Chains A and B, each alone.
Chain A
Amino acid sequence: MNMAKPNTTPAAASHQVVRLDGRLDAVSVARNKQALMNQVTDSGCSIVLNLKDVNFIDSTGLGLLVALHKQLQTSGFTMAVCEMSEQARLLFELTRLNQIFDLYDAEAHAVSALQQG
């Protein structure tokens, strides 16, 4: 089973790009949640979450994204989500998370939006 693995790319001091791949389900979230949360906490900046290579999300995966979002908000930062598949976009719409997250088609757009504050 593929696992979601954080893969960070320093983009600028104000934010960090985190790329996830594989499945965002109960199994992979249980294995990777703490590492991902620590990474976000330690980063000390806003996050661009790239979901281009995530091929499946369930309610646990959505829960992880909400937890990340809350964690960043508590620290005074924001999170942008980008390059999600059509299926993931549909799931965000169905669960109304599209009203909570800032969603972008391209990573560059998300980075630009965060840089503009």
Chain B
Amino acid sequence: MNTTRLFPAETAVLAEFRTDASLYPFLRHRPAAMLPVLGKPVIHHWLNALRNAGVKQVLLLVSDFPEQVRAYVGRGERWGFDQVEYISTRTLNDWQEVTRRVPADMLDAAAFCSLNAMPVEPLNRMAESAAFWLPARSGQHRQRQQALTIQSPMDLWAANMALASQLAESSVEPGSFIDPAVRLEGRNYVDSRVVVDRQNKLINSVIGKDVRINESCELDQAVILPDTQLGSHLKVTRKIIDGATVYDVDSNCTLTVDDPRLFTRLTRAKQKITLGERALALVLLVATAPFVLLTPREKQVISVAKGESFDGDLINNDIEVTSLKTASRFAKRIPWLRAVIRGELPLFGIREQGQLVSERPGVISLADFGEQSEVGITIANQYQTHTNSFTSNLALAGKWLPRAITRK
């Protein structure tokens, strides 16, 4: 087939179209544009490709969960775009609907890209097409461009596998813990803040952010989407797991079992520091005051997560706090209670450890009470990140206080 170079075109229109119904279970929490392929949303791959092709302005047509796309892309600073504009629409079915929403002066000059497919570089246009189309639902798209369309769970799995196969070796992002006894075979991709417990085996699999895999599982060509917990002793071969939703590639069958011992979605604890938390910090500060007055102190700067940037990285605030010079991990953070009262720090959070320090460092941490090995702290931190119930926190404070004042 004859193709001509699509670019230089300085403007690109990205549109998200209706997908097959089989993909809907995976779109309950995200739009199709945000489906992760090798740890990054589809839209991220497109914006990278367009930036590499010299695009300066981007127009995004989004329907479901537009706020997620806006939060992720922002004004496009990460990609160096001059301008990113959004048009919220109802679900689009074809390109005719797109053209009705795009300003007339853009129609002849812009490149049109479908978010229901992965970009194929170098970006080309169809020679016989008057405009710079990359059709979304056309069968020609798959044949001629050999693009990886993402219209069904099968496509999503295939896209992840295709990109993973291009890795030179297994890749583990910082901030993840993989037990030394875990066997990594082939080309695996493990995103950040993942815990893989002992005796697991990963073969050519893609693991998303904030995933917890309990012991003795075997994952072979599996795609685990973010915020998923897998129970122990599971055998996951050629499947997508998204929280409680399981898709089997071979039978093209989707199953939902929301059971923490098998599969479940991990929800993140609220980052907001409540009035109750501040009041409890005041009580604890008063109760511990007599025990800390004579202890030497030191200044320390810690990072607290303010939120996530448009590319998913954490944005931190540096806060200066005073710590006690003591070996007791319980007493060390007592002066931090003042930062809690000011609303700068959470009372209950994780223990400092590598990159997780920026997640939610709290004065009282579950990790201080259990096993002090790296894996023990990592698991307790991850649990703390995803749970923040009033009763369990109150019990934690009850256990913390006597230990802090006796410095044991």
The residue in chain B whose Cβ has the minimal distance to the Cβ of A56 is: B257
Taking a contact as CB atoms under 8 Å apart, the answer to whether B262 and A90 are in contact is no
Complex CA gap A87/B262 in Å reads 14
Interface membership of A95, Cβ < 8 A = yes
Interface membership of A59, Cβ < 8 A = yes
A56 to chain B, nearest CB (A): 8
Interface membership of B248, Cβ < 8 A = yes
Interface membership of B163, Cβ < 8 A = no
Complex CA gap A86/B256 in Å reads 12
**Residues from chain A with Cβ under 8 Å of B246 in the complex:** 90, 94
A108 to chain B, nearest CB (A): 23
Dominant secondary structure of chain A at its interface with chain B: helix
Complex CA gap A87/B248 in Å reads 10
Taking a contact as CB atoms under 8 Å apart, the answer to whether B235 and A59 are in contact is no
| Partner pick for A59 among B236, B237, B248, B262, CB 8 A cutoff | B262
Interface membership of B233, Cβ < 8 A = yes
Taking a contact as CB atoms under 8 Å apart, the answer to whether B251 and A86 are in contact is yes
A12 to chain B, nearest CB (A): 33
**Residues from chain A with Cβ under 8 Å of B257 in the complex:** 57-59, 91
- List A86-102 residues whose CB lies under 8 Å from chain B: 86-87, 89-91, 93-96
B211 to chain A, nearest CB (A): 16
Taking a contact as CB atoms under 8 Å apart, the answer to whether A90 and B234 are in contact is no
**Residues from chain B with Cβ under 8 Å of A95 in the complex:** 233-235, 262
Given A90-B246, A95-B262, do A59 and B231 touch, yes or no (CB 8 Å)? yes
Interface membership of B255, Cβ < 8 A = yes
The residue in chain A whose Cβ has the minimal distance to the Cβ of B248 is: A90
Taking a contact as CB atoms under 8 Å apart, the answer to whether A90 and B251 are in contact is yes
Complex CA gap A65/B222 in Å reads 27
Taking a contact as CB atoms under 8 Å apart, the answer to whether B236 and A90 are in contact is no
- List A10-68 residues whose CB lies under 8 Å from chain B: 57-59
Complex CA gap A94/B246 in Å reads 10
Q: A58-B259, A59-B259 are in contact. List 14 more A-B contacts (CB 8 A).
A: A57-B257, A58-B262, A59-B262, A86-B251, A90-B246, A90-B248, A90-B253, A93-B235, A93-B237, A94-B234, A95-B233, A95-B234, A95-B262, A96-B234
